[in-house]
């Protein structure tokens, strides 16, 4: 459905430009927008490659496993229906770590694997389990300590101090995570 909306917006802009005799401006905007998009992508690529590499080193070096052991009591409290030692716990911790580092792209595969593992335990395959809902809430409202993507975008835009957003990001994402967990717990308690 979203692709239809985007198509209508783009087609509407082209038709409007053609009707008002400004098709040259539309063409220029298309090419300059494409060029800007490519430049931003290349700029972000370096930041993402660096942090994805750091995550890979952390995984290979056992840091993620150690972090999983440290975070295990908290994760087990947040996911009481998931037994200790279940593979889903490791994927959940990896997902949370990637989100904390501001690596939404790196968090996605771990989140998908965690959902697959949680689905294996699901007795009603057409309904989400409470653990799945909690993971979705945590993943959506995740705490971010290092907003790498935004820092990269600010660097690309020529910001004098691209890291000024770190403290506001921590405060905002901590509030969003707390609120999401409160709503998740309330919804689980009020469910039949």
Alpha-carbon separation of residue 111 from 13, 115, 186 (angstroms): 37, 6, 23
pLDDT in the model for residue 64: 67
User: Does residue 22 lie in a domain region?
Assistant: no
Residue 103 domain flag? yes
Query: Does 62 fall in a domain?
Result: yes
User: Do the domain assignments include residue 144?
Assistant: yes
- pLDDT tens across 64-118, in order? 677 767 777 888 888 888 887 788 888 888 888 778 777 776 778 888 999 999 9
More confident site: 61 or 44: 61
Does some domain include residue 112?
yes
Q: How confident is the model at residue 119 (pLDDT cuts 50, 70, 90)?
A: very high
Q: For the chain, what percent of residues have pLDDT higher than 90?
A: 21
Mean pLDDT of 15-42: 86
In a domain, 131, yes or no: yes
- Tell me how many domains the chain contains: 1
Q: 91 is in which domain, residue-wise?
A: 32-190
Q: Which residue from 140, 160, 142 is spatially nearest to 151, judged by alpha carbons?
A: 160
Is residue 108 in a domain?
yes
In a domain, 4, yes or no: no
Helices (H), 61-165: 63-78, 87-100, 104-120, 130-140, 148-156
Percent of the chain at pLDDT exceeding 70: 93
Residue 188 CB partners (closer than 8 Å, separation 6+): 130, 133, 134
Give the per-residue pLDDT at 177: 93
pLDDT level of residue 134 (50, 70, 90 thresholds): very high
Mean pLDDT, all residues of the chain? 84
Q: Are the CB atoms for 133 and 91 separated by under 8 Å?
A: no
């Amino acid at each position: 459905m979203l692709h239809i909306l985007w198509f209508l917006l783009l087609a509407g802009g082209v038709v409007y430009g053609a009707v008002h005799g400004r098709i040259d401006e539309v063409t220029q905007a298309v090419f300059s927008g494409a060029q800007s998009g490519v430049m931003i992508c290349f700029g972000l690529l370096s930041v993402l490659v660096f942090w994805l590499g750091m995550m890979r080193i952390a995984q290979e070096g056992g840091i993620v496993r150690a972090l999983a052991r440290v975070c295990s009591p908290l994760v087990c409290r947040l996911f009481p229906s998931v037994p200790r030692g279940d593979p889903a716990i490791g994927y959940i911790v990896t997902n949370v770590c990637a989100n904390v580092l501001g690596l939404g792209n790196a968090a996605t595969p771990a989140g998908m694997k965690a959902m697959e593992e949680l689905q294996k335990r699901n007795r009603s395959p057409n309904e989400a389990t409470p653990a799945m809902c909690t993971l979705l809430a945590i993943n959506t409202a995740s705490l971010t300590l290092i907003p790498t993507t935004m820092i990269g975008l600010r660097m690309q835009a020529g910001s004098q101090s691209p890291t000024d957003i770190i403290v506001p990001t921590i405060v905002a994402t901590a509030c969003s995570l707390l609120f999401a967990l409160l709503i998740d717990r309330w919804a689980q308690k009020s469910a039949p």
